Amino acid sequence: MSDKIKIVRTVHDLRKAVAKWRGRDQTVGLVPTMGALHAGHISLVKLAKKKADKAVVSIFVNPTQFAANEDLSRYPRDEAGDLAKLAAADADLVWSPGVEEMYPDGFSTGVRAGSAAKDLEGAFRPCHFDGVATVCAKLFNQVTPDIAVFGEKDFQQLAVLRQMVRDLNMPLKLIGSPTKRDADGLALSSRNAYLSEAERKIAPALYAAISALAKDVANGADIPAGVADAKRKVTAAGFTKIDYIEVRDAETLEPASTASGRPMRVLAACWLGKTRLIDNVAA
Ligand code: PAF
């Protein structure tokens, strides 16, 4: 473990660092992040270190995945804190470009996310996944990793990126890592920092409701009735708006049927005041 970590801010310096490792036949893992790192991110770094010789962590708050009405300007930023955590986690390099380096004047090409992006988050955040797919395609081309590690907390994002890698023959493997949670079940997220003390107490009710729904549908319960019950529970707990609570096929993200015998996933996005929380669990 070192107390300092190398940070690069230009594609030129990044390529030089990666080329040095490649010259020694070392494999490279990438953990893409938007910073404001928490224990969930650190678990991704540790997984990357297990699966590859070197771990690069990108920190870039990507403007193209935020809609005009979303929280880009108030998205939490803490570079000094992030660097200290990454040094402690033994990451090898931080790739932290500015917006001008990532999207120089004249930038106009993008990836259109595939069918996995079409609803759930896609219905509430149009263009979000195009922005995520484009920046991840750029990160993959910049870092040229053998593997990239993503949290299952953003389950649909992982599905969209797996589809992109498959469809565009990108030469890397994506690895999903289970969601890290606080002791009361709340999924770790940079956005939890927005919650007031009172909201933070209510927040674990989302995980409780979707876990109960997942257990019920895994035991063959009726999906629409179970979803209605989960919605009642989160509303009673104090959530102010439900964007969706859905049971989907875990692979295709198409609406699930208990008769199919295929793995299912419960996915949810709900609001607590001004904060939108997402979560998902296996069913
Ligand atoms: O999950 C995130 O933090 C972002 O969507 C990602 C993958 C780093 C792309 O900006």
The CA 154 to ligand 1 mean position distance, Å, reads 9
Query: For a substitution probing ligand 1, which of 94, 99, 135, 192 has the most ligand atoms within 8 Å of its CB?
Result: 135
- Give pLDDT, residue 225: 97
CA distance 103 to 161: 20
For the segment(s) 7-177, the CATH number from 2.40.110.10, 3.40.50.620, 1.10.10.60, 3.40.50.300 is 3.40.50.620
Ligand 1 neighbours (beta carbon < 6 A): 32-34, 62, 65, 132, 135-136, 154, 157
The CA 262 to ligand 1 mean position distance, Å, reads 28
Burial class (CB in 10 A: 0-12, 13-18, 19+), 218: middle
Across the chain, mean pLDDT equals: 96
The CATH fold assigned to 190-282 is Pantoate--beta-alanine Ligase; Chain: A,domain 2 (3.30.1300)
- Give pLDDT, residue 2: 60
Residue 269 C-alpha from the chain's centroid: 14
Q: Which atom of ligand 1 is nearest to the CA of 58?
A: 8
The pLDDT-based confidence of 260 (bands split at 50, 70, 90) is confident
Token couple for 211: 């876990």
The pLDDT-based confidence of 71 (bands split at 50, 70, 90) is confident
Q: From start to end of the chain, where are the E strands? A: 7-8, 28-33, 54-59, 93-95, 147-151, 173-177, 241-249, 264-272, 275-282
Is position 41 annotated as part of the catalytic site?
A: yes
CA distance 176 to 117: 17
The CA 261 to ligand 1 mean position distance, Å, reads 32
Q: What percent of the chain has pLDDT over 70?
A: 99
Q: What is the pLDDT of residues 163-215, one digit of tens each?
A: 999 999 999 999 999 999 999 999 999 899 999 999 999 999 999 999 999 99
In the chain, where are the structural domains located? 7-177, 190-282
CA atoms within 13 A on the CB side of 89: 29
Q: What is the pLDDT of residues 34-69, one digit of tens each?
A: 999 999 999 999 999 999 999 999 999 999 999 888
CA distance 117 to 235: 27
Backbone angles phi, psi at 266, to 5 degrees: -95, 125
Question: Would you say the CATH fold of 190-282 matches that of 7-177?
Answer: no
Q: Which atom of ligand 1 is nearest to the CA of 151?
A: 1
